[in-house]
Structure 1
Amino acid sequence: MLATFKQIWGLKTLKGKLRFYTLLLIALPFLLVTSFFFLFQREQVLGGALRQIVSSLRQEGNVMRSWMGERFDDARFLAGIDALRQGDVPAMLPLLHFYQDTHPFVSDVIYVSAQGHIAGAVSAAPGIYVGDRPYFQQARAGKPSLTSVPVGRASGQPICLFVTPIQAADGGFGGAIAIIVVLSSLDRWLLGARAAPGGEVLLCDGQGRILAPSSAVAAGGGPGRAKAPAALLEAGETGSLLRSGDGETWLGAAMPLGDDGWRLLSQVAASDVLAGYRRQSWWFLLAALCTLAVVTPLVLRLSRNLERPLLALAAYARTLRATRYREDCPLEFPKDVPIEIRELLDAFCQMADEMRGHIEETERISVMDALTGLYNRRFLFSGGTKLLDVAARAGKPFACLMIDLDHFKDVNDIHGHSAGDRVLAHLGRVLLACVRKSDLVARYGGEEFAVLLTGADAAQAAELAERIRGALAREPCRIDDVFLPVTASFGVAEAREEVEYGESPLEDMLARADKALYRAKAAGRDRVVVETRG
């Protein structure tokens, strides 16, 4: 895939690379800045909107708690009136009516006797027993309470009761006073209390039922059925990002109002918050593209001025390679070439002339070992590296033999160095007779030889080593009229991708084969040892 990409974009040529990376260098700052603007700045906008929601809800919560405290103060004030403490219903009713008339949001005021019956009220019918209601039980225990009713009997709308116990004139429990408020009376305040653009504020009870405003109650299925989203209820007073079932992102917070579980909720769609930000982002992107359109032709012109001399230099380099450095420098430098490029071209032409002389001298150096007719150590590494690279690209195995004549010092000491040279030549002939034409046989140094085997693994190399050892056993070296037995020790290794010894796979393989050779020597000589891992 990478090769296809390079071919499509022309990255295999200097011209293609220069233009591609030049354009990339131009576009990258704009891409980075645009990415920062679209990604990081987006989070900043959402975070700011969320902080605004939390701050606004905290302020509205303070207002709501103040309003609730005033209703409890009203209930305590009524509970302290003598007529209620004495249970004088005829005397208290005008007072209850007066309170209800002066507080339009109050739908009813109820006096409950100590026995749990409604004894007096503005609207409610007397005689109803409410002694089993939780709010009355709390009043009997001397505690005020706030109770929400999702569906009021009279109004059919969510209501709440601010209930306070009454202390009788004799100091005992004298019943309870309950101020009933229809929560739709909070609509105007809640609809005006926008925590964020496009987001409304909801009042919910401890069970997550929406109590106000009435528009949200109706949209949620009506009184008693309208429920706030569970994720919004869990958002907490610090707020959080929410995910709806359809994958849309929301910002929301839930501000607790007290121990009764009431909460103020608000959420707004992230898309509404980001509407203005998106318009700003598109304008920014348009400006970046316009800048890119202006700068690109200028940079391309500079790129072409650099391309021409470099392309001419590359063409000359190809010509030199094809003619083995026999071509003179034909480059003509344009006048507008930068000084650095001109110096590069001059230096290249001078180096080409010097290289031509070095090559001619190098070609005179023989790559053959004069004594054995085999390749020398120098060619072993240069030619062997090429063979190993070809085998690696083709996915073929590659192995080598390291061969050392046994007791060669004794041959020199007993029969003389001339005999030693003939033994070396004899081994070279045997090796050439046993290997393939594609294999590389070289004198490694002294009495040590190396064989590189293309397309052969360690097992196949070991088989060849045994054949060579057998051939040596069958063909002793003839020195004048004496047939001198010749044996050798063999170390076998196979090429690996990882390099443990030396700096290249070839050096590593030869080193491992040499270690195997020394093990063969230590084990008694005249044998083949295959290098193993570990």
Structure 2
Amino acid sequence: MRKIFRKDTFRGQLRAWVRLFVFIISLFILVPTFYIEYQQASKQQKEHLENVLNTQTYHFEKWSQERSADIETLANIDIVKNHEYEKAKEFFDYFLTQKTDFADLVFINKEGFVQFDTVRPQVYDSLKIDVRNREYFQVAKNKKEGHITDVLISKVTHQPVVIFASPIIGDDQTFNGVVFGSVDLHTIDQFLSGSKVGDIGHTYVVNKDGILLTELMDHPSEAFGDHFTMDPSILKHVRDSVGPSPLLYQDPQGNWVFGAIQPMNQGNWWMISEIRVMDSFLPFLRKIAVLGLCILLGTFVATRFMIYIARQIEQPIQQLLQGVRYMESGDYTYKITESNITASTQEFRELFSAFNRMSDKVKENIYLLEELSTTCQLTNIYNRRYLTEYGDKIFRECVETGRACSCIAVDIDYFKQVNDTYGHGVGDQVLTHVSSILSSCIRSSDIVTRYGGEEFIILSPYTTLQQSLMIAERIREQVEANPFYYGDIRIPITISLGVAEYSINHDANTLPELIQLSDKALYQAKENGRNQTRPYDENGAAYAFSF
């Protein structure tokens, strides 16, 4: 120590004392920083493991639910429920081209034998593949519920698979068989690899017996049929410590790893996320090394420029904070001005530009959400919510000013027969066809809404009963004169209409009451033969009229 301070001049001693002072200050900074960074690194790795585990568990369970929903959809198709095997198999083959996650789709009759599958080219009347003892068949038969199996060796493909099964339930709620789709383990592996979060660590899935469902080639393990089992010591850790809290153990390669476990599929599977300890703390060690050098070499320079840098940073941050506060209050029009952007550094210019773009995007999305919430997505006209909110304002304005307000209730005649005869897809096209005619026949001040099903409501502000009757009759004639064409098939369309008017002598003091009166008139129109317009008079009765 004496040799350090042996200087012949005051300047030399001052330099030595300054160096010692800087060194001591650096130690006081480095040691606590080391401890804090170590704690933060440990916390970050724990959070990283938990986030990876939760994210991949969510995506995997969502994927499983979607596959179960696919099979349930197949089981509820009419050609499947009616045992139209040839058509069902054609549809299954087509379905498999759209849902490539499935290796095979299988139809099992209610006796427990395979009727057909998508691997073999034809339908078998008595294909003696017996699956009565399979758990998914028993669950479907006895509980009438869908089921996701553990790893099985398929009796059709003879490969290890996971099966998504759903019962076929007849209209009389009787059990008519099972539809299942098999997913091979490599597909599950590919899905999990595709949803990987981050660049370090890995995640894999095992069942409660330790059989790997993913990363089959990445784990040197004991062969078990056509699949593999995980290391027994790791399996013991999994069974004893299921939960998101990280565990410390050695992997099959002898590397110390942090691992977190999350149960899935009603506790039958576990998702395990692992990260090597060295990979986990390597960024921390690098950071400490760089930090030490920076402290030793830059402490003096950093103190000189600290105030200057703080001033340069504080002003742009305050501008960003002000913008965030505006957005928090619901004002999405605020933008950072061009002069402030050009006067800042490149990083802050990018932040300001990104903030302005984000503000525009948020404003655009808010307007879009408001539009979606008040518009029928099928017919592109307003929906019931829009009528309830905006239409009620218009009605109250008519009431307050003492002016007339009329309501027209419209219902498509025999719409159920259209659905039953041609299907709901054609029914949707008929709804769109009628809504376009309604929109073309009303005035700009009128509001046409899809009220529900095949019923529409037209609110006509500042309009008397007679004026609304003329509008309604014009609409009825236009609909009757413009049938819907489904290919070469002509589908005649007629509508029934009920018209009611608000007046100071009437008992309709609210918009729902006015709609109710128009519904009563509509009911009379349908009772009297349909394809007609009925007004509701002030005495509370719907009556026939003529122009």
Same fold (TM over 0.5): no
Give me the TM-score of the superposition, normalised by structure 1. 0.45
Q: Which has the larger radius of gyration?
A: 1
Give me the TM-score of the superposition, normalised by structure 2. 0.44
